[in-house]
Amino acid sequence: MPRPEILNPLFALVTSLSGVGPRQDKLLRYLLGRSETPRVVDLLLHLPSNAIDRRARPKVRDAVPGTVATLEVTIDRHRPSLPGRSRTPYLVYASDETGDVLLTYFRGKRDYIEKLLPIGEKRYVSGTVQIFDGTLQMVHPDRVVDEQGLAKLSGIEPVYPLTEGLALGSLRRAIALALQKLPTLPEWISPEVLRRCSFPPLSEALRRVHVPLELTDILPDRPFWSRLAFDELLAGQLALALVRAQLRRPAGARHAGDGHLRSKVIDALPYALTSSQREAVAAIAHDLQQPMRMLRLLQGDVGSGKTVVALLAAAAVAEAGKQAALMAPTEILARQHIKTIAPLAARAGLRVAIITGREKGKDRRDILAQIAAGELDLLVGTHALIQDDVIFKSLALAIVDEQHRFGVRERLALTSKGDAVDVLVLSATPIPRTLVLTYFGDMDISELREKPAGRQPIDTRALPSSRLNEVVDAVGRAVKAGKLVYWICPLVEESETIEHLTDATTRFETLRERFGDQVGLVHGQMKGAEKDRVMAQFAAAEIHVLVATTVVEVGVDVPAATIMVIENAERFGLAQLHQLRGRIGRGSEASTCLLLYREPLGEMSAARLRVIRETTDGFRIAEEDLRLRGEGEVLGTRQSGLPGYRIARPEVHTQLIAQARDEALRIMRDNPKLDGPSGEALRCLLYLYERDEAIPLIGAG
Ligand code: ADP
Ligand code: MG
């Protein structure tokens, strides 16, 4: 189904906008998190984090220091920087009838300033005023306009999240051009919902967040932003509903056997299952036994023992002579799974193998032949699992680890490799139930809330970074005692930029000076094999200190590691801190986590560190996280959104998630093939929010 033509202007590349060249392209890719040139729609959905109010037009005498003011002044005289001393500022003296104000330029170009602020003329200057040396000053006015320009000076200017090298002004100009491209799109929200939620039309919503008339227009909880959030959530829910409709049909087959392999696995375990593991296994076995397809989410903290539950699920289908697949998002995770699984499987007589990008040539061919011949019961792997030449004899169970990293397409590609494949999703990110809907739609849920027996508590402490030396000393003692230490360096935002890589690299080098080749480094830009090699050295205690960016966040299992240092802990979100800390406290030895923070510590960061010190219960942490985010929502503090969502905010829009779900269900009931004009409008929505991969499912079969 081709994209509706009406969307073309929005899918034009940003480089088609005047003033957006290759340099901007690169910066915008980074800013908007896209690997290719962003489209006009991506700019429009980049929403302000703040706004500047230039409406205050006081007399000079009444200007309030520390605020933004637009002053009407006459330019009296210039005092250029002293020759040869370019560090002295260029000063422009200006005044109105009530007083004087100094306009200060550091490294100002003389020609430019003389033109901008001609002596004897009237100008409007807008910027933050300050008192400096007893004089009212405006350092680098943001705006300087004459009478004519004043008409065009917007009263309220949006401020956007930026990236280094990208100027606010050029981003604003690009967004203004993008707004002009906005076509009149059909309304996809039903009249009832529009009325109930008081949503404005899309075009008005976009205009008002980018060209606010009031400071509050840009707040996420106002109707403009909320309308956009609802659209995004509706697109997500509709896509999930389409997938679900597809998966529910045809009715699944009965896939569980008599339990003989499961008991063998359980007998082979060196430990007893926790009661929540037993409950999860029972629920899964029950689902597998139903003629309806299973769609179950298994949630549990890192280390809560999901892998063995997954293995038991695979054993259940193997008992019935069928196959299972376990797909992980990364090579490291896939290998981790096979490491846990292989010895247990061997003792139970389950045949397992792994396939990733690294299995090549004959190895790969052998595995493919075995899986096609039904000689393997469980195939573990990465995306490599969904390649076309991977053909199962009888795939009955698809287990997907860390699901929300996979799109709809991957999920379907795996389930389409068998008939009526049951789906088990593993998630190590405990999500409050309200949010489960966002990612998974209506799924059955099993939670692993208890920690396996024998786990030692983690002693978590917070220290100011001024005590770094003590921490390094402590690490030195630990290394001497043979302990394994993770040393985490921060990443701002989700992506690993070069800049933050140097944080890790620099720390690696300083620690190396002290501890020599006891220290290793892993980061996201390293090749898989290289990363694995360093991880393996750490796991084998050939190195004792592993400096890492957040690549160790997910799923890495080195039970012997008992110490973790997290630098700039104040920059991490609660969920991330929790995930990171989950790398330790996995063995039988007591563990310590040291959170180094930079002072001064903001209120929110302090609250986060407090929570993380108080508890290791991921579900509680997730709830606290949501609560804190809710409290922190004030003008100007941009909170991070839901992963995979750009606009919807968990702390503001939880109500909307349920409403979007209900609306998606209504659509599936009333118009499952998205026919007619309202269906066409919904297709537009799916394209806009990149959920169009669900479109081929509409009414299929
Ligand atoms: P998750 O995948 O949930 O992060 P894993 O399945 O990797 O956790 O389990 C973490 C570790 O705990 C593994 O070494 C596993 O063998 C062990 N484990 C799992 N279940 C139990 C249990 N009931 N008692 C003791 N140890 C367990
Ligand atoms: Mg795991």
Q: Among 460, 408, 488, which residue's Cα sits nearest to residue 609?
A: 460
Per-residue pLDDT tens for 688-700? 998 887 777 776 4
Residue 405 pLDDT grade (very low, low, confident, very high; cuts 50, 70, 90): low
Return the residue matching tokens 């597809």.
246
What pLDDT, on a 0 to 100 scale, did the predictor assign at position 684? 96
The Å distance, Cα 613 to ligand 1 centre, comes to 23
| Ligand 1 pocket member 307 (CB < 6 A) | yes
Please report which helix (H) or strand (E) contains residue 561, including its range: strand 561-566
What pLDDT, on a 0 to 100 scale, did the predictor assign at position 636? 30
Domains 260-448 and 458-615 share a fold: yes
The Å distance, Cα 277 to ligand 1 centre, comes to 10
| Ligand 1 pocket member 452 (CB < 6 A) | yes
Decide if pLDDT at 634 tops 50.
Answer: no
What pLDDT, on a 0 to 100 scale, did the predictor assign at position 573? 81
Rg of the chain on CA atoms, in Å: 29
The Å distance, Cα 433 to ligand 2 centre, comes to 21
Q: Among 332, 435, 410, 338, which residue's Cα sits nearest to residue 378?
A: 338
Q: Among 573, 558, 546, 557, which residue's Cα sits nearest to residue 488?
A: 546
| Ligand 1 pocket member 323 (CB < 6 A) | no
Decide if pLDDT at 588 tops 70.
Answer: yes
What pLDDT, on a 0 to 100 scale, did the predictor assign at position 403? 61
Q: Closest Cα to atom 24, ligand 1: which residue?
A: 452
Better-predicted residue by pLDDT, 285 or 617: 285
Better-predicted residue by pLDDT, 205 or 575: 205
Distance between CA 583 and CA 549 in Å, rounded? Answer: 13
Distance between CA 348 and CA 264 in Å, rounded? Answer: 5
CATH architecture of 458-615: 3-Layer(aba) Sandwich (3.40)
Better-predicted residue by pLDDT, 25 or 556: 25
Closest ligand 1 atom, CA of 336? 7
What pLDDT, on a 0 to 100 scale, did the predictor assign at position 611? 94
What number is the average pLDDT over the span 641-657?
Answer: 78
Residues ≥6 apart with Cβ < 8 Å to 329: 382, 401, 402, 405, 406, 554
Span of 190-199, 351-360, 689-698 with lowest mean pLDDT:
689-698
Q: Among 351, 341, 349, which residue's Cα sits nearest to residue 373?
A: 351
The CA-to-CA distance between both ends of the chain, in Å, stands at 15
| Ligand 1 pocket member 557 (CB < 6 A) | yes
Span of 78-87, 173-182, 206-215 with lowest mean pLDDT:
78-87
What number is the average pLDDT over the span 378-393?
Answer: 95
Share of the chain above pLDDT 90, in %: 60
What pLDDT, on a 0 to 100 scale, did the predictor assign at position 408? 64
What number is the average pLDDT over the span 280-294?
Answer: 90
**What string of DSSP letters covers 398-451?**
EEEESGGGS-HHHHHHHHTTEEEEEEEEEESS---HHHHHHHHSS-EEEEE-SP
Which among 291-295, 401-405, 501-505, 674-678 has the top mean pLDDT? Answer: 674-678
The CA dihedral of 439, 440, 442, 448, to the nearest 10 degrees, is: -110
Per-residue pLDDT tens for 555-564? 567 889 999 9
Q: Closest Cα to atom 20, ligand 1: which residue?
A: 305
**What string of DSSP letters covers 349-390?**
T--EEEE-TT--HHHHHHHHHHHHHT--SEEEESGGGGSTT-
Query: For the chain, how many residues are written?
Result: 701
What pLDDT, on a 0 to 100 scale, did the predictor assign at position 620? 84
The Å distance, Cα 586 to ligand 1 centre, comes to 8
What pLDDT, on a 0 to 100 scale, did the predictor assign at position 367? 96
What is the CATH topology of the domain spanning 260-448?
Rossmann fold (3.40.50)
Domain spans in the chain, listed from the N-terminal domain onward: 55-153, 260-448, 458-615
Distance between CA 265 and CA 5 in Å, rounded? Answer: 56
Per-residue pLDDT tens for 486-519? 999 876 443 444 444 457 888 999 999 999 999 9
The Å distance, Cα 306 to ligand 1 centre, comes to 7
Closest ligand 1 atom, CA of 582? 4
What pLDDT, on a 0 to 100 scale, did the predictor assign at position 248? 67
Residue 639 pLDDT grade (very low, low, confident, very high; cuts 50, 70, 90): very low
Share of the chain above pLDDT 70, in %: 92
Per-residue pLDDT tens for 254-281? 788 899 999 999 999 999 999 999 999 9
Give the three-class secondary structure for 540: coil
Per-residue pLDDT tens for 421-460? 899 999 877 777 667 777 777 778 899 988 887 777 899 9
CATH code linked to domain 55-153 = 2.40.50.140
